[in-house]
Structure 1
Amino acid sequence: MKSKFFRVAVEGQTTDGRAITREQIVDMASTYSPEKYGARIWMEHIRGLYADSSFPALGDVVELKAEEIKDGDLKGKMGLYAAINPTKELLAINEKRQKIYTSIELDPDFAGSGQAYMYGLGVTDSPASLGTEALKFSAEKPNAEKLLASRKNRPENLFSSAMEVHIEMEAESKPEENGLFSKIKELLKRDKAETGAEFGAAIKDQNEAVTLLANEVVALTKKIEGMDGATASAQEISDLMEKFTTVNSELNALKTQLGKEHQHSQRPPATGGDGEVLADC
């Protein structure tokens, strides 16, 4: 699930007094690729070592884009916007108005490429911890470049001033019906038969629908039985089992429905040429 785009950085100062340039904003948007190096979301920029740590990853950055801000106090500045895939924990935290500010983690020379890259995103409660107070502290101390150094991948990397964000999720698009279930729906949408020929065609279509579902159940069963736990992830196995359960339930429900219909349905009586019902002797 992907969020709507929201602004995570603007060209200007960072927590240690240095500046994020317009060129770096554009670089981060154009070079970002989750396949190349995915930026994860961390509470207060702290990376927990264990999955059950107090500081687990809270999601992933899916996409970045750069846009010039059109109005307000920041009009004319280049902004960096992110779409993320947050965990349920991050959504719950944000809904409670906790950790509502974001701060990007920027490498100005990623992998020696000469281009800036966003390699992480921090969420924090107080922008002062990474913004105003941090900048003030940096200005007063000669070793400002060491500020928050323990949380950086490299000393040269930057943390941007924190920005408030409310995470809004994109509406999930309804997947188009296709494949197996589309075929079954097509087979079963025939109106109730009024003539003997139509009645026979409807029964044939219903039988075909049952066969399709039954074949899918068999195929899924074989796939599950042939899965190797060493090569298949727990998520893959779980997804396949869920699909199997759904298809099997559909098959059983369809069998029950058709059984009831057949018990209460009879072939319409034959009629004569003038429309009168003929006796069946």
Structure 2
Amino acid sequence: MKTQRFLIAVEGMFADGRSLNAEEIRAMVANFNYEELLVPVTYAHYCWSPLLSEVVALGCDVINNHMHLYAEIKVTEELKEIACRELTHHLVPEVMPGEGNNDSLTKLFGVGVTQNSIIPGLDVLQFDRANHENAILRSGK
């Protein structure tokens, strides 16, 4: 199985007013379990979108005092085809907040392929080269 790492979120405020904090990002990594829950990659978070790929691992790292969330994604022909289009695409997270505003229960429940990322600085969807060779990822085992 070939995979590729992508930066999918950075701690802070997003263009639409939503935000993620460092504890929520750490919780998504800690609560990720590849064997128990499929985290799908779909087109623009549409419920009718076919499954384009899936997340196989998550990792986080602090860079310039901001927590970064990385996802290891299975490389599929569908994602390669989207990456070859003339439009720029990014991968963005679908986050389920912790129950009762408990940040430690926050989970990643999907990743969307989109042209209009509200999160600045994310990786472009591409498979020509590695994005983050040294990122530490967690498979949930």
Same fold, TM exceeding 0.5?
yes
Equivalent residues, number? 127
- Please state if 1:93 is matched with 2:82: yes
Q: Which amino acid aligns with 1:106?
A: V
SS at match of 1:166: coil
Q: Distance in 2 between matches of 1:104 and 1:97?
A: 23
Q: Which amino acid aligns with 2:42?
A: W
Corresponding residue of 2:66 = 77
Deviation string 1:162-199 (CA, Å, 9 cap, x unpaired) is 6342333899xxxxxxxxxxxxxxxxxxxxxxxxxxxx
Q: Which amino acid aligns with 2:94?
A: E
- Please state if 1:120 is matched with 2:120: no
Q: Is the 8 A contact 1:3 1:170 kept in 2?
A: no
Q: Compared with structure 1, are the counterparts of its residues 98 and 58 closer, same or farther at alpha carbon in structure 2 (3 Å cutoff)?
A: farther
Q: Is the 8 A contact 1:105 1:121 kept in 2?
A: yes
Q: Distance in 2 between matches of 1:28 and 1:8?
A: 12
Corresponding residue of 1:5 = 5
Q: Is the 8 A contact 2:43 2:113 kept in 1?
A: yes
Corresponding residue of 1:165 = 124
Q: Distance in 2 between matches of 1:97 and 1:29?
A: 32
Deviation string 1:87-124 (CA, Å, 9 cap, x unpaired) is 311111112244511210001116x9851110000111
SS at match of 1:37: coil
SS at match of 1:82: strand
SS at match of 1:26: helix
Q: Distance in 1 between matches of 2:2 and 2:87?
A: 20
Deviation string 1:206-240 (CA, Å, 9 cap, x unpaired) is xxxxxxxxxxxxxxxxxxxxxxxxxxxxxxxxxxx
Task: Answer 1 or 2: which has greater strand percent.
Answer: 2
Task: Answer 1 or 2: which has greater helix percent.
Answer: 1
Q: Is the 8 A contact 1:99 1:123 kept in 2?
A: no
Q: Which amino acid aligns with 1:65?
A: G
Deviation of the 1:3 alpha carbon: 2.1
Q: Is the 8 A contact 1:26 1:66 kept in 2?
A: yes
Q: Percent identity?
A: 30
Deviation of the 1:86 alpha carbon: 3.4
Deviation string 1:38-76 (CA, Å, 9 cap, x unpaired) is 21011111021xxxxxx211100000001112xxxxx22
Q: Is the 8 A contact 1:58 1:86 kept in 2?
A: no
Deviation of the 1:125 alpha carbon: 1.5
TM-score, structure 2 normalization: 0.77
SS at match of 2:17: coil
Unaligned runs of 5+ in 2: 131-141
Give the one of 53, 56, 69 matched to 2:50: 56
Q: Distance in 1 between matches of 2:41 and 2:86?
A: 17
Q: Is the 8 A contact 1:12 1:20 kept in 2?
A: yes
Q: Which has the higher contact order (CA 8 A, sep 6+)?
A: 2
Unaligned runs of 5+ in 1: 49-54, 70-74, 132-160, 172-281
SS at match of 1:165: coil
